[in-house]
């Protein structure tokens, strides 16, 4: 369960640091030319990116004992909710 906290925080910070004045702005400029359906999960939207990262992380690293569809949905959903919480926290701290 700690994995979902780590992955969602890393994914959120990667997108957050893509703002024009931060270190990953070059990546945001690179993906800005992509269509919306591809731009969002590749880092244009923090919720989409966190969900996408957790989706693949679960498949690659957490299916050692067998695949559980509902657990997979839970992990992805938890990553999206946590990313939203991080965004609210960052909005509060930026004020």
Q: With a cut of 80, say whether residue 95 has pLDDT above it.
A: no
When divided into structural domains, the chain yields a total of 1
**Domain extent at residue 30:** 2-94
Look up the pTM and report it: 0.92
pLDDT in tens, 31-90: 999 999 999 999 999 999 999 999 999 999 998 889 999 999 999 999 999 999 999 999
d(CA 37, CA 92): 29
Q: With a cut of 80, say whether residue 15 has pLDDT above it.
A: yes
Burial of 54 (0-12, 13-18, 19+ CB in 10 A): buried
Rounded mean pLDDT of 9-32?
95
């Amino acid at each position: 369960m700690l994995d979902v906290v780590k992955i969602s925080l890393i994914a959120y910070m990667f997108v957050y640091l893509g703002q024009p004045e931060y270190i990953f702005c070059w990546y945001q400029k690179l993906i800005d030319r992509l269509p919306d359906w591809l731009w969002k999960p590749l880092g244009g939207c923090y919720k989409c990116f966190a969900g996408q990262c957790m989706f693949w992380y679960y498949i690659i690293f957490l299916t050692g004992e067998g695949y559980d569809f509902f657990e997979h949905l839970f992990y992805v959903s938890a990553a999206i909710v946590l990313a939203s919480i991080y965004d609210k926290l960052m909005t509060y701290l930026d004020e």
